[in-house]
Structures are given as C-alpha cells and as structure tokens.
Amino acid sequence: MFASKNFKVSFLFVLIGLISLYFADLEITTIDATSLSQDFFFSIFSMEFNNYSVLLEAFLRTISIAVLAIFFSIIFGAILSLFFNSLLVRISLAFTRSIHELFWALIFLQIFGLNTLTALLAIVIPYSATLAKVYAEILQENDTFTDTLRGKDKLSYFIYTKIPDALPHLISYTRYRFECALRSTAILGFVGITTLGYYLSSSFMQGLYHEVWLILIVFYVIVASIKKWFNKYTFIPLVIASFLYLDDFSGFNLANLKRFFTQDIIPYPIKNDLGLQSTISWFEKIFVNEILPGATNTLVLTQLSLLLTAILTLILFPLVSSKFTNKPTKISAHIFLVVLRSTPEYILAYIFLQLFGPSMLPAALALMLHNGSIISHLIGHDTDAMKLRIDVTKRKTELYFYEVLPRIYGQFLAFLFYRWEIIMRESAILGVLGITTLGFYIDSAIEDFRLDKMFLLLLVTAFLNILVDVISKKAREYLRATKHISACDLRQNK
C-alpha cells in the first residue's frame, strides 16, 4: 500500500543496478598515473594549435555537415512521420535508430570511402528516423480537435490546423536535435572525416593536450551559442552556405553498394558454400564467444551507468536550480554542465582510463558524467518553473526532500527512461576502449575485415536497443509519465 508506482519502479532499477555493480569489473589497476593526468589538466593554461587555418576549416566543416544533415533529416523525418502508423515503417525506423552514428559511418566508409557523403548519410539515416518518431508523436499530441470542428478537407485541416498548432514544439525539438547533430558530426572525426573530432582525436592520441583543450573549448563555445546563430532567420542562409562550402558530394558508388549487400555481409560459410553444418558452427562460435559476453557486458555497463546517472542527477540538479542557488553559482554550474555534456564520452573515458586503468569504471564514469549533466540541466530547469507556497520551509534539505524532489520525481524517472536507450547505444561505442561490450566485438570484426560478422553483431545490438526501447515505453505508460518527449536530448520542453 505504501509503495507508490514510482517507488516500485525505482526500487527495481536500483536493484538491477546493484546486481550489475556486483558483476561489473571496477578494479583500479594503475600503478602511477598522476603525471599523465596532471599533464592533461595543466595543458589548459598553454592552449594553442599548430595550424589555425586547418582548425578553422574543420570548424566550418563540422557546422556545415551538421546543418545539411539536420536539413535532410527534417525533410525525410517529416515525410516519414506521416506514415508512422504503419507497423513496417515503425519497425524499420526503430532499427535504423538503434545503430549509432559512428557505426553507420564505419559501414559507409567501407562502401563510399572517407568523404562528405559518408558523413551525411551516417547522420541523416538515424536522425531522420528519430525525427520521424518525435514529429509523429508531437503531431499526435496536438490532435485535440473534435470531428465536427475539423471540417471536411483533411489536407487543409492538416496544413492549417494541426501543423500550426504543433509548430512551436516541432521547432524547439528540431533545434535540440541540431545540437546532437553537431556533437555527432564532431565525433565522426574519430573515424577519419575531417571534422573537429579528427583533430581532437589526433592531438589526443599524440598527447598534445594543449591542442585538445583548444579544440574542446572551440566546441563548447559552438554548442553554448547555438541559439544565437541557429534560428528561423539564419536556417535557410546556413543551409545554402553549407551547400556551397561543402561543394563536393561525390563518392556514390553503386557497384560497391551492391558488393556490400550481396557479398560482404553474407556469412562466410554461406558465401563459400560450406554447407549447413559449418554455417551453424560459424554462428554458434560467434554466439558463444562474442554475442553472449558482449551482450552481458553491454547490459551490465548500461544498467550500472543508468544508476550512477540517476545518483549524479539527484546531486547536481540543485546547483542549476534557482530554488537552491543564487545566480552566480547557477551560471558557473550551468557552464560546468555544458562542458560535461559537450565533451565526447570517449575522451572522458580515456582520461579515466589513464587514471584508473582498464576496467568498466572509466566507461561507467564517462557515461554517468555525460548523461547526468544532461538530465540535471533538464530537471534544474523544470524546478525553476515550480511554484511553491509562500510559507515554504527555509531549510534547503527540507526543501529538497519534502517539496522539490517529490514534485519532480516522476519527471526525473521519465528522463532517465529516455536516456536509457541512449546510454546503451553509447556503451557500445566505448567498447573501442577495450571493454568487451558488443561495440568492442563490432570494432574487432571491422578491423579483421569480417563484415559478415560485423553485420550480425550490429543486428544483435539493434535488437537489444529495440528491446530497451519497448521496456522503457511500457514503464513510462505504467508511470503515466508525459509521452511526448523522446530520444537524444529531450530538452524540447524548455
């Protein structure tokens, strides 16, 4: 009787998180890492870059690719959202969404090479799918007119009533999606597209931390100032300028595309006609040695990071809430959160790897900081709008536990559920660091040039993501949390 729905769901997730903690390998193995981490943090005082024109070019490229990617994603997303009732469309979109941009890039790199086309496809494909889903949900939310008020013409109802009604929500979500696109575009540099991430990872791998800081700060400024330069007045000029700047979209190669689907991803024993027996043993070997441990580690890391994210959020959100802090603290906390959420998780994880040695700890901490800072920002903002009684307690702890927390708890859980799927997708990427998640095995398959295995593992990853998506949807329905927020950075209600 005492256990509310919120409590039951939280209890379950804390329990799963603790079980994951038990199974997770969090051993600290470094012998002496002080010098390296000191190097890193002190280099901020000697920031510089060896070639500023290269950096400027990477800066412009990052923005142009992100602008064009969001432009195409809006178009495809809007069209697809109209067919969102079809089960086939929904399933295929869920599938495309569940594969991380970086993996899409690695696939297209095999087919079209390292070029703008690959970068655009890697972002447009998953982003169109996300936008289609969110647009469809927003349109549904704004479908509140009764039949008699709708008139006879469905098309004019759609254009003149539904769209204008939903427009503010559509626009604000799209803007947040653009921030995601910027981050994604930058990170594509890690696989070789010459965006900011390219130079970031090069400098990082070479230990040129003074360059790393400069690139990171350039990136923080871009992200923090999005509102100033990305709005309804600048959108069209930005799209045109990006087209002209990027200029070269060639690289499409039908033969290679065909080769990928008809040869590369066909399982090795089938392609070489080795018979049913060896096909089964091929699959069995991958299942036992890679899929099982990979999926287990992915789940353990995801659930642990989800729990850590929740804890961090509960600690951090008062710092950005005017209910708890004064303006100067709030502003500095805000900057701190921008820094945390704009630093690629990969870089965060790598710093922790230097500090703590190889285990799941660096990845879990990186995911916690990144996602915790995003949700804290959202919750902090929500509490600002909260109206409390005039005679409310003056004690901060009482205010926190008896007034604010109970009021935002439902929203807090909803945000966590939305981030859940994303944490899982990101945990795959951190496999590149040597934590044997599914992403680790995908990366290995690519390095071994076994694209058939890569494809199989991608399917498994996609399946896990879809599963998490379905569970979190059910959980949200159970909690009756607000329905219309979803995917990447759910900050459109701001």
Q: Where along the sequence are the contacts to another protein (CB under 8 A)?
A: 29-33, 35-36, 109-114, 190-192, 198, 201-202, 205-207, 244, 247-248, 253, 256, 268, 353-354, 357-359, 433-434, 443-444, 446-450
CB-wise, 155 or 244, nearer to another protein? 244
429: phi then psi, degrees, rounded to nearest 5: -65, -35
CB-wise, 181 or 200, nearer to another protein? 200
The least distance separating another protein from the CB of residue 192, rounded to whole angstroms, comes to: 4
Distance of CA 346 to the CA centre of its chain: 12
The least distance separating another protein from the CB of residue 175, rounded to whole angstroms, comes to: 29
CB-wise, 273 or 447, nearer to another protein? 447
Here the contacts of 291-296 (C-beta below 8 Å, separation 24 or greater) are 291/438, 291/441, 291/457, 291/460, 293/436, 294/431, 294/436, 294/437, 294/438, 294/440, 294/441, 294/457, 294/460, 295/438, 295/460, 295/464
Do 126 and 104 touch, CB atoms closer than 8 A? yes
Dist CA 386 CA 404 (whole Å): 8
Distance of CA 37 to the CA centre of its chain: 27
Dist CA 308 CA 296 (whole Å): 18
The least distance separating another protein from the CB of residue 65, rounded to whole angstroms, comes to: 15
The least distance separating another protein from the CB of residue 270, rounded to whole angstroms, comes to: 13
Amino acid at 457: L
CB-wise, 61 or 133, nearer to another protein? 61
The least distance separating another protein from the CB of residue 304, rounded to whole angstroms, comes to: 18
The least distance separating another protein from the CB of residue 294, rounded to whole angstroms, comes to: 13
Pair of tokens at residue 487: 């995917």
The least distance separating another protein from the CB of residue 36, rounded to whole angstroms, comes to: 4
CB-wise, 77 or 192, nearer to another protein? 192
Dist CA 66 CA 57 (whole Å): 14
Tokens 């070269």, residue located: 248
CB-wise, 129 or 364, nearer to another protein? 364
